[in-house]
Structures are given as C-alpha cells and as structure tokens.
Chain A
Amino acid sequence: MGGGLTATLPDVDPVMDPESRAWVAALAGQGSDREAALDRLHALLLRAARFELGRRRGQLAGLSAAERDDLATQAADDALMGVLARLGDFRGLSRFTTWAYKFALLEAATRARRMAWRGRELPRPPEDWLAMADPDGRPEAAAEHAELLAALRAAVAEVLTPRQREVLLTVVAGRVPLDVLAERRGTTRGALYKTIHDARRKLRAHLAEAGLLTGEEVRPR
C-alpha cells in the first residue's frame, strides 16, 4: 500500500496474551459465548467513542448531551462492524482491547470532524495564501522565512498539479480535516494523504534544487 510512501513496516511473529486469545476465540465462535463477547466489546467501544467525543466537546458545542451520546453509539456500532470484519488482521502484537479501541476512536473522531463541518462550504484555496496568517498565529509573510515562503509559493504554482495544489492548500492553508475533504470528494483519507505526500515531495525536491533546503532535508525515496 501507499506506493511512494516510503517506509516499510516489518512483519513480526505474534505472541498473543491469554486475554486477547480469549477475546478472539469468543468472537470467532458461536452461540451465547459469542453474544456475550459482542456485548462486552460493544460496551468497550462505546466507552472509547464517548472518550473521544468528550475530548472534542468544544468542536461539538451545538450538540445536546443526548445527540452526542447518539453519535457515540453510532461510532461504537460501526467500530464493532470494523473490528469483526478485520478480526483476522489481529496478530496479537498489542492487547486485543487496545487494537479494538482504535476502531472506536477513528469512527468517533471522523464523525465529530464531519459533524463540525456539516452544512459548511469548504474554503476554496485562497489565491493569496502566502499572506494568510500562519496557523500558529504568526504572520508568515513578515517572518524570517520570507525567502523560503516566496520560493514555496512559486513552487506551489509551478510544480504541483492542479489537484495536488487544491488538496494541499485546502488541508494545510484552509485547515479542512482530511476526513471532511475525503467525504466531499467521495474518496478516502489515505488516498488524499497520498496526494498531499506526493505534493510535499515535489515541493521539497524543487526547493532543494534551488538550494533553499539542505541535502539532509530531502532524502532518497
């Protein structure tokens, strides 16, 4: 996966702890043991989803407590489906519960991001994005990186494809979450990130060629 994304993860032999093994056996089994395991798993996923939405309370200020809890339940429901669909991927390299939690956190976070942007137009990549305030609040144009920024602006205009330019600027300068842009475009977070990654590599290579980045900053792929 991720052609062009350059690190390769090693495959490691699993050593599954007894508790994780029991989870997998119960979920892969049948009858009342499986039903009980599904109930316990859903409760665990719901707790994780509530935890995530609790962290995002500010983003979801327009929701009542009941609506937020409904969102958590939806996230837990979908996370449960995800866990069951990918049970065969669990190799026992972490605890089963840790592995399962991430599905609930992903579902809850994605829902929260999309909810926060629901009904809002996505900002178009601003023509004069160089003059925008830095996301950290510093006025970039006046900062010490003025030369780098000028070259970067030219590189964005010259070396990126229109799609790379739009995706990169919408996400980075427009601060639109990847999940939100993916939903509007009918694609996935991973596919959009790949576009961003490829655009960044082009920009780095271009700036390195112009002598604005050291060789250390652009490594072989």
Chain B
Amino acid sequence: MSLVDGLLGPEEPEVGCDDCFAELDRYVELELAGEDPDAQLPGLRAHLAGCLACREEHESLRALLAGERG
C-alpha cells in the first residue's frame, strides 16, 4: 500500500475492527464457497483494505481453511 493510500484509507464505508473480527469466519467461508461475501457483509472488504492487522488475519484464516480443504 502506498503512503497516500495508507493516509487516505478506503473510499467506501467500512466496519471497525471488532465487527470485522465478529464476521471474519463467515466472510472467509463465503469466499471459499465461491459466493459473494461483499453482498452479505458490506463494509468488510473496505476495512480489510484499510487495516493491515485485520487483513493479515483474514489472509491467515483463508490460508488455513484452504489448506485443510485441499
């Protein structure tokens, strides 16, 4: 992420870290099922774009589940 992107953050409305954590499991399962998580959980993708810590945990959960499911 460039310095400008980091300073300005995502354009779209976003949830906070607590709401992101609350829904992260569902978001990742929808992603892995090939569904559209953004339609059901608006604001999460924008938060993941703006928050490095939540983004890293999203990537980890996705990788962990993807590895389990082969």
Contact = CB atoms under 8 A, between A and B. Distances in A.
Contacts of B6: 135, 172-173
Given A105-B57, A106-B57, A178-B53, A9 B4 contact: no
A94 B25 CA distance: 6
Interface residues of A, number: 60
A52 interface: yes
A38 interface: no
Contacts of B14: 5-7, 197
Interface residues of B, number: 44
A13 interface: no
Interface string B44-70: 101100111100110011011101000
The 3 closest A-B pairs by CB, nearest first: A7-B43, A2-B16, A6-B13
Given A7-B43, A102-B61, A106-B57, A196 B2 contact: no
A40 interface: no
B53 to A, nearest CB: 5
Given A178-B51, A178-B52, A152 B25 contact: no
Interface of B: 1-4, 6-9, 11-19, 21-26, 28-29, 40-44, 46-47, 50-53, 56-57, 60-61, 63-65, 67
Interface in A122-176: 129, 132, 134-136, 138, 140, 145, 148-149, 152, 156, 168, 172-173
B21 A102 contact: yes
A218 B13 CA distance: 10
B29 A105 contact: no
Contact of A105 (B4, B23, B64): B64
B18 A190 contact: yes
